[in-house]
Amino acid sequence: MPVNIHGKKIELLDGGLGTCLEDLCSINFSESTPLWSSDLVIRDPKTLEDLQQSFSRAGADILLTATYQASFQGFAKTSRSDETAGISREEAAAYMRSAVSIAQRAHEKNGKKEGRIALSLGAYGATMLPSTEYSGEYDPEHLSRHRLLQFHLERLRVFTENRETWENIDYVAFETLPRSDEIYAVREAMQAVYQVDTYHQYLSHKPFWISCVYPQDDQHLPDGSSIEQVAKAMFESYQAQWFGRRLPLTRVAEICPNLSLLASTAQSFLYFATLPQSFNLQFAASVMKRLLLSFTRTARRTSFTTLRPKIGSLEKAIGTILKCPGTKNWQPLYKIWLQQRMVFGKALL
């Protein structure tokens, strides 16, 4: 169940579904299973439910649905359980929605009436064969922001057009995006759901987050987007109710050199944000605050030689953030950081 740290509720998210299916359940994925872990909603929903139940039992408050690689194209290339070729769009939509029910039952079997469900939606590249979400090398038909918007909106509507399914979803997770145009596309897709699909009177707003493939050695995403361009794509104003940004598979030490760029770029957009007040500067401050606390904890286990070159960029980022309006509550945190610095010794000064 969620824990409270300094008055803030912390929820634990699961992860590693595909890896656990392979390592613990002896299920093999290859190009012959274009849906990857989503294939289990067709062939073995019980194994999927049992594994997600184990995640919930181990302490996960939020379960990600087995829909990361799901797409109409993937289902069309997949045989049914009776081995007949191809699954229709209508059947595919039903299978995708069933992943939400499976995750919900996994929580319920552990007695977690308040267990949360996050709808997992991977990048377009995650649905390709071979998958390209870590390279950003998409087919010619999906190299434009408009076509990526169409892809993500079509898949989102599988869930929004069914009232029971949508009401059982707590969050929407767009994961491992390797391109800045796709960041724009998923944000526009969420906006379109609420602005265009108004005929669904029951359509409640869902908070969502975006995770990106961490920048390469040249500090760019696989598509060549710079850190500043990624921050612009994430923070430019839309009305959709986003609440998170995440860098998966990232060491804290690699985040620090980019904090200043992220903070300074985000600041220019947050000054003019049209999002509700509770979701602009307050949110940006909370994200950076968590990064700083994480760095402080990690620093205790890191050598002085490794830390020394990172301190300057980290403090530059803190200075940028403290100049933003509405961040006075950061001053006590900054004092904690200075005290922690003294613990590291004069080698860091």
β-pairing verdict for 3-5 and 62-64: unpaired
pLDDT computed for residue 41 by the predictor: 96
**What's the first-to-final CA gap in the chain, in angstroms?**
41
> Which residues, in sequence order, are bridge partners of residue 120?
173
pLDDT computed for residue 309 by the predictor: 54
Rounded CA gap, 120 and 173, in Å?
Answer: 5
pTM above 0.95, yes or no: no
Closest CA to 76 of 65, 84, 68, 67: 84
| Local confidence pLDDT in tens for the 349 residues of the chain | 665 554 557 788 998 899 899 999 988 888 788 899 999 999 999 999 999 999 999 999 999 999 999 999 999 999 776 666 789 999 999 999 999 999 999 999 998 888 999 999 999 999 998 889 989 999 999 999 999 999 999 999 999 999 999 999 999 999 999 999 999 999 999 988 877 655 556 677 888 998 888 766 777 889 999 877 887 888 776 544 444 444 444 554 555 555 555 555 555 444 333 333 333 444 445 555 555 555 555 555 555 555 555 555 555 555 655 555 445 555 555 555 555 555 444 433 3
Rounded CA gap, 72 and 49, in Å?
Answer: 22
Alpha helix locations (H) across 197-302?
227-235, 252-270, 281-299
SS3 state at 209:
strand
SS3 state at 79:
coil
pLDDT computed for residue 150 by the predictor: 96
Q: Which helix (H) or strand (E) holds 311?
A: helix 304-322
Rounded CA gap, 259 and 265, in Å?
Answer: 10
Q: Which helix (H) or strand (E) holds 246?
A: strand 242-246
pLDDT computed for residue 330 by the predictor: 52
Entry field: residues in the chain: 349
**C-alpha 124 chain-centroid distance:** 14
Closest CA to 189 of 131, 119, 132, 97: 119
Contact 250, 214 (CB under 8 A): yes
pLDDT computed for residue 201 by the predictor: 60
Looking up tokens 């509507």 gives 157
Taking residue 211's Cβ as centre, other Cβ atoms within 10 Å add up to: 19
> Which residues, in sequence order, are bridge partners of residue 159?
none
> Which residues, in sequence order, are bridge partners of residue 245?
210
Phi/psi of residue 173, each to 5°?
A: -115, 110
